[in-house]
Amino acid sequence: MTLFARLLVVAAALPFVFAHNGSGSSGSSSCQPSEFYYSDKECCLPHGGVPSPPKPPSGTSCPQNWYWHSGKSCCVPSTPPTSPSPPSCSSGWSWNTSGWYCSPHTSTVHTTSPATPTPSKPGSCKNGEFYWGDKDCCLPYGGQPNPPSPPSGSSCPSNWSWHTGYGCCVPHSPPPPSPPSCSNGWGWNDSSKCCEKPKPTPTPPPHTSVQTTYHPTTTSHYSAPAPSSSDCPSNYWFWEPRSCCLPHGGQPNPPSPPSGTSCPSNWSWHTGKGCCVPHHPNQPPPQCGSGWGWDDGSKCCFPHGSSTSSIPKPSGKPGHSGGGGYWKRTHAKSRASSLCPNDLEACPIMGLNGILTGDYECADTRNDIQSCGGCASTGAGQDCTAIDGAWNVGCTNSKCVVYSCAAGYKRSADHSMCIKL
């Protein structure tokens, strides 16, 4: 074979050699000395990039020291990446992990929320990412480079950052099951996945003879599920009269009942429910101390014959005479109905010394967070803002609903209280 014929054979084989080296199935061993292997796209790339790379398509761009690769239809690095984290895009642009290029931030009006990214599966995350089940997504280890600041009134815990697409804080690594710790003066809102400052509780205006008060309520986008015995955690039991879960044996170090009330033996005061609660299920009828009588409506003991003009005086059981701890409310109810407009209840106002003053305020006890289900001052209702460990609360259909708890607490299954972790 002549020299000229040999050269023709070699020239004809060169395209096949280059096609093999640039194919998607290249391995690191197939790269030339002037190339490096890029595992994310399974190809060999020249060190330092190409002299005149093509311009990215409209609506896309490449990060600094990256360029557009027409064969892969994406951005590729000029040098081997030193970190598994996504590259940094220019201001106003963000890295698109599905298309492997920078795309501009989508501007939205205030009335619409950012589009939620496509859900992921635990096994679909790439190298350098982890799966976060709370938002069903893959997140980069170490967090996003240069994340945006949270909106006003919100903040993110340490090792968390704001994610515009999800509209919440996201972790930089797989988080533990317990809520994250926020800065001093802030509390974790598990529903919105961010830290918030507690909302101030409005101070009641000075009491007058009769006043109409509308305490703020919170709105819920869901209806609290009807609690049942199956909702109670381990070592708790369900108490039907107040539809709540109680610990077997009672709470350790329970608070003292308010002045003028007491709890029977094997009962203790529950601040969240505003009444006495039993320590065990199926207990015998409550027995108050000498000189005290049981009021089954307010679930606490009251002294015989020690009421003021603002509190209905105790009377015997219907058809009986003498004491017995049953309250006669007919006169008080007729008086209360004449003090307030329709659908509002006249609630006696408690003084600083814990004694009812004789003045009243008109409250919507179906939705009032400070007199939910009845007047909290008489024990008939509940002050939802006094629930231990509660962060955001509401009153819906005369029942307190806990929407979120402070750090170190978790909501009970029936959403009526916060349980200390």
- Nearest residue to 146 via CA among 64, 89, 77: 89
pLDDT of residue 117: 55
pTM of the predicted protein model = 0.26
pLDDT of residue 228: 61
Pairing of strands 356-363, 345-350: antiparallel
Q: For the chain, how far is it from start to end, CA to CA, in angstroms?
A: 86
User: For residues 415 and 83, what is the distance between their CA atoms, to the nearest angstrom?
Assistant: 44
Tally of CB atoms within 10 A around 62? 24
Q: Is the pLDDT of residue 156 over 90?
A: yes
Binning pLDDT at 50, 70 and 90, where does residue 3 land?
low
Mean pLDDT of 83-111: 77
Binning pLDDT at 50, 70 and 90, where does residue 18 land?
very low
Higher-scoring residue by pLDDT: 152, 27:
152
User: For residues 294 and 181, what is the distance between their CA atoms, to the nearest angstrom?
Assistant: 43
The answer to whether the beta carbons of residues 182 and 402 sit under 8 Å apart is no
Binning pLDDT at 50, 70 and 90, where does residue 315 land?
very low
Tokens of 253: 């170090």
User: For residues 76 and 43, what is the distance between their CA atoms, to the nearest angstrom?
Assistant: 10
Instruction: Please state which of the ranges 110-114, 207-211, 250-254 shows the lowest mean pLDDT.
Output: 110-114
pLDDT of residue 311: 36
> Mean pLDDT in the chain?
76
Mean pLDDT of 104-119: 51
pLDDT of residue 281: 87
User: For residues 33 and 261, what is the distance between their CA atoms, to the nearest angstrom?
Assistant: 87
37-81: per-residue pLDDT in tens? 888 888 899 999 988 888 888 889 999 999 988 888 899 999 998
195-249: per-residue pLDDT in tens? 998 765 554 544 444 555 555 554 333 334 445 666 788 888 888 888 888 998 9
